[in-house]
Amino acid sequence: MGKKRAKRNTYPYVLKHGRKAVYIGITKDPERREQEHRDEGKNFTSMILDFPCSEETALKREQEKIESYKRSHKGKKPKYND
């Protein structure tokens, strides 16, 4: 019998204000998380979801996206990831 596959229930996502990324994260409940960000006062115009994946893969993608952002923004993280 084959290896058991991890649940693909975690979404990497990016909050954007216009074309600029202001937060990079992961969630299992995108609607709830979007509302939490709004309730926290984060200023963004859209939430871009990636494909669902395992939590382990989502965490890896999140870190890769943050590192990529930092490389193109003089070492700074997105506004709300500090």
In this predicted structure, the answer to whether residue 4 has a pLDDT above a threshold of 80 is no
Closest CA to 29 of 6, 4, 55: 55
In this predicted structure, the answer to whether residue 82 has a pLDDT above a threshold of 90 is no
In this predicted structure, the answer to whether residue 2 has a pLDDT above a threshold of 70 is no
In this predicted structure, the answer to whether residue 16 has a pLDDT above a threshold of 90 is yes
Give the angle subtended at the CA of 19 by the CAs of 14 and 20, to the nearest 5°. 60
Closest CA to 67 of 56, 57, 81, 53: 81
The domain 11-81 is classified under which CATH number: 1.10.8, 3.40.1440, 1.10.10, 1.10.760? 3.40.1440
The widest CA-to-CA distance across the chain, in whole angstroms, is: 49
Per-residue model confidence as pLDDT tens digits over 39-76: 999 999 999 999 999 999 999 999 999 999 999 999 99
Name the residue ranges covered by the structural domains of the chain. Answer: 11-81
Per-residue model confidence as pLDDT tens digits over 31-49: 999 999 999 999 999 999 9
